[in-house]
Structure 1
Amino acid sequence: MAEHQNLDWLRDRLRASLYAEANDPSELIEWLQDRRKEVPFSAHLIALRDVANWRQDDDGNIHNVSGQFFRIEGVRVQSAPGLREIAGWDQPIFTQTDGGVLALLSRETRDRGVEFLLQAKADPGNIGYLQFCPTIQSTWENIRGLKGARRAPFAECLDPSDNIRLIYRSKHNEEGSRFWQKSNENMILFVEDASALTIDDRTYRWASLSQIKQMMLLDNVVGPYVRTVVAPL
């Protein structure tokens, strides 16, 4: 269920922070470029038959042998005349039982005002591999901690706590042309005492809303999910 009882409060804090917040994102961009050079990460396309631990079932659907993660199935579409480019079509589509979480942690300091904790996340399809993403960008499976997988960092911040103030949460449909009825839960969480967090500065950086907006004007620096999370601000 959508909640936004503290959204106006954070908007007020953002207005009060205008005098203090950083506007120039140059240092963040330079840091990201350095990390792209330093982080050992590579990806290249291979034949689908060679993908390890993924199989086709008797219906031709593709799934992981563990039964976890997404599946690739088929969908048949019939559309009212004029609603889409053609009246009907078949296509592959991603299906997944669980949705995801896209959460930004925020804080306020006297010297820098309100800031948001961005994650430099590597994904194989990214141009430049590393892009700034929400603090938590994960499926619920990874938040719960899959067998053999590292639990998503800061997942504990999703639990009720005196140190965490929920600013807003709402579910948004993943791209419907590629995903079957999947939604992600967007949220912003305000951390009352950010010193209580353990932050790996090789992966995470604090940024003001002005810096985030400036970086959105650049190519392939800020991932699309950050844009959707900060949109209500």
Structure 2
Amino acid sequence: MTEFLTRAAPTPLRVAASAYARDGGHSPHTAFHDWYAGAAARTFTQVERVPLDALAGWETDPETGNLRHHTGGFFTVEGLEVRMPAGPVPAWSQPIINQPEVGVLGILVKEFDGILHCLMQSKVEPGNVGGVQVSPTVQATRSNYTGIHGGRPVPYLDRFRDAGSRGTLVDVRQSEQGSAFHHKRNRNMVVEAEGEVEVQEDFHWLTLGQLHRLLAEDDVLNMDARTVLSCLPFAHADLARELGPPADPFQAALIRSCDPSAGARHPLGAVLSWITEARTRTEVRARRVPLAGLPGWHRTPERISHESGAFFDVIGVRVEAGGREVARWSQPMIEPHGTGVVAFLTRSIDGVLHVLMNARVEAGYMDVAELAPTVQCTPASYAHLPSSARPRYLDAVEEADPARVRFRSLLSEEGGRFHHARNRYLIVDTDLDVPADDPDYRWMTVHQLVELLRHSHYLNIQARSLVACLQSLLTPGGPAPTTERKARV
């Protein structure tokens, strides 16, 4: 690895240099452990389930049954009626989170000894598994940073609101879960700091290599950190020179896949036409409707549940927290049933790693379809759906030879809206062949994914998390998968 890259070097090579620094730079990895343990000791949450009608500051609209905050801010829980005639389930209704605000997810970066470091926050959310997780520098809704909650100001927010173009490495709006949110977007940003940065108690500098190590730990690096990291540009023709000799043929194919001059099964123009075709041919009619009387769903004092007992519940929680802008609050949350599976199938085509992407339709997307992982599902839910709805390639993931599983980790989804929502994230190498004209799937290179991530609403939130996991496999000593649950850091 090149030992020193100046700030004038191309950003992808500076990203690669930071990813190579797996043991830390400005702060060794042992110092992270000490900081993280200290953050866990001084930060706490007490989460108590309470009846939906007992949520302080929240009210049920007498006409619609929708759950809303008394200020009109934050979000509402409403009903959604969906018609998708060509889908395996042609019609359904469900509760949905309507949060029209565009929040800020931002990571502040700075060079120390020529290596980019990310200023990360230890943050606790009521829905987190295990308490504290490593989060972006800023993770805030508009209601948060405009002070509707009446709490303390959001640290470092001004670095992102007044970033300017010179220090901005990433600035793009991206979607969140289209199955749970109606048209939800956040502004994903990476901003390079000018001058000195005063590091507050719950913040710590980490290299990308250190963050990649944390991806291999269950429930440590939160969803918002993963989506921002995935948007970093890391495709470049000279990446192979900077990273040095690959550890094995898989890593060699992955590095070649990051080279924009490398061959691809489908040119990017053809991929864009395929996405446009998927968005055009699929008829989706999604209409917000009252939550009260939603077909198939029942409300009790404690929760809103589907009559089958499957999918998810809407629950209420009362929270007391330390180390937050607000010390106590109440809110509704989505509680999924079962652990999900989110997986990339990969294959080397002419020596270049390709990822099998799915053009996936979800009712809450801004534009009908986005690129999703090969497999994205909660297997337990399919006991209540027709067999035709079972995801293609789920068996290929679940029955994969362990020797071909390149990444495996149990990662939490956003703990501010979801209660204990977790997915098994996997990257599985395969020899699978998929017809070039398959209407729902395409083999794509990593550099094509990186290019699409410069733009809004192409890769969904689950795919972005897996792109961050792919990044972690680029450097020697990348995360080694294990079938056992890994201990918290």
TM-score bracket relative to the smaller structure: 0.7 to 0.9
Quote the residue 1:92 is aligned against: 95
In the TM superposition, 1:1-233 aligns within 5 A as 9-16=10-17, 22-23=23-24, 25-57=29-61, 58-81=63-86, 83=87, 85-110=88-113, 113-146=115-148, 148-160=150-162, 165-193=167-195, 195=196, 197-201=197-201, 203-233=202-232
1:17/1:218 Cα in 2 relative to 1: closer, same or farther (>3 Å)?
closer
**How many residues are treated as equivalent by the alignment?**
221
Amino acid at match of 2:100: T
Report deviation, 1:225: 1.4
Equivalent pair of 1:102/1:138 in contact (CA under 8 Å): yes
Equivalent pair of 1:117/1:205 in contact (CA under 8 Å): yes
Amino acid at match of 1:73: E
Equivalent pair of 2:18/2:207 in contact (CA under 8 Å): no
Report deviation, 1:22: 3.2
Equivalent pair of 1:104/1:117 in contact (CA under 8 Å): yes
1:60/1:12 Cα in 2 relative to 1: closer, same or farther (>3 Å)?
same
The TM-score normalised by the length of structure 1 is 0.85
Amino acid at match of 1:211: Q
Tell me, in whole angstroms, the C-alpha distance in 2 between the residues paired with 1:18 and 1:94: 36
Tell me, in whole angstroms, the C-alpha distance in 2 between the residues paired with 1:227 and 1:75: 28
SS in 1 for 2:89: coil
1:129/1:160 Cα in 2 relative to 1: closer, same or farther (>3 Å)?
same
1:137-157 Cα distance to aligned partner (Å, 9 max, x none): 001222233362322111111
Equivalent pair of 1:163/1:191 in contact (CA under 8 Å): no
The TM-score normalised by the length of structure 2 is 0.42
1:113-146 Cα distance to aligned partner (Å, 9 max, x none): 2100111111000012210011010012222333
Instruction: Choose 1 or 2 for highest CA Rg.
Output: 2
Tell me, in whole angstroms, the C-alpha distance in 2 between the residues paired with 1:61 and 1:232: 35
Tell me, in whole angstroms, the C-alpha distance in 2 between the residues paired with 1:52 and 1:21: 45
Equivalent pair of 1:25/1:214 in contact (CA under 8 Å): no
Moved more, 170-179 or 18-27: 18-27
Report deviation, 1:163: 11
Tell me, in whole angstroms, the C-alpha distance in 2 between the residues paired with 1:46 and 1:147: 20
1:147/1:131 Cα in 2 relative to 1: closer, same or farther (>3 Å)?
closer
Tell me, in whole angstroms, the C-alpha distance in 1 between the residues paired with 2:192 and 2:74: 30
Calculate percent identity across the aligned residue pairs. Answer: 29
What are structure 2's unaligned runs of at least 5 residues? 1-6, 233-489
SS in 2 for 1:104: strand
Tell me, in whole angstroms, the C-alpha distance in 1 between the residues paired with 2:179 and 2:20: 43
SS in 2 for 1:97: coil
1:187/1:19 Cα in 2 relative to 1: closer, same or farther (>3 Å)?
closer
Tell me, in whole angstroms, the C-alpha distance in 2 between the residues paired with 1:178 and 1:122: 21
Tell me, in whole angstroms, the C-alpha distance in 2 between the residues paired with 1:214 and 1:77: 40
SS in 1 for 2:107: strand
1:188-219 Cα distance to aligned partner (Å, 9 max, x none): 000122x2x33212x10110000000000100
Tell me, in whole angstroms, the C-alpha distance in 2 between the residues paired with 1:21 and 1:220: 19
Report deviation, 1:164: 6.7
Equivalent pair of 2:103/2:185 in contact (CA under 8 Å): yes
Equivalent pair of 1:163/1:192 in contact (CA under 8 Å): no
Amino acid at match of 2:53: R
Tell me, in whole angstroms, the C-alpha distance in 2 between the residues paired with 1:17 and 1:40: 31
SS in 2 for 1:31: helix
Equivalent pair of 1:76/1:91 in contact (CA under 8 Å): yes
1:212/1:87 Cα in 2 relative to 1: closer, same or farther (>3 Å)?
same
| Higher RCO structure (Cα 8 Å, ≥6 apart) | 1
1:16/1:131 Cα in 2 relative to 1: closer, same or farther (>3 Å)?
closer
SS in 2 for 1:67: coil
Tell me, in whole angstroms, the C-alpha distance in 2 between the residues paired with 1:18 and 1:221: 18
1:64-88 Cα distance to aligned partner (Å, 9 max, x none): 111111001100011132x3x4111
Tell me, in whole angstroms, the C-alpha distance in 1 between the residues paired with 2:20 and 2:176: 36
Report deviation, 1:162: 7.4
Extract structure 1 runs of 4+ deviating beyond 4 A.
Answer: 16-21, 161-164
SS in 2 for 1:44: strand
1:174/1:16 Cα in 2 relative to 1: closer, same or farther (>3 Å)?
closer
Equivalent pair of 2:97/2:181 in contact (CA under 8 Å): yes
Equivalent pair of 1:103/1:134 in contact (CA under 8 Å): yes
SS in 1 for 2:35: helix
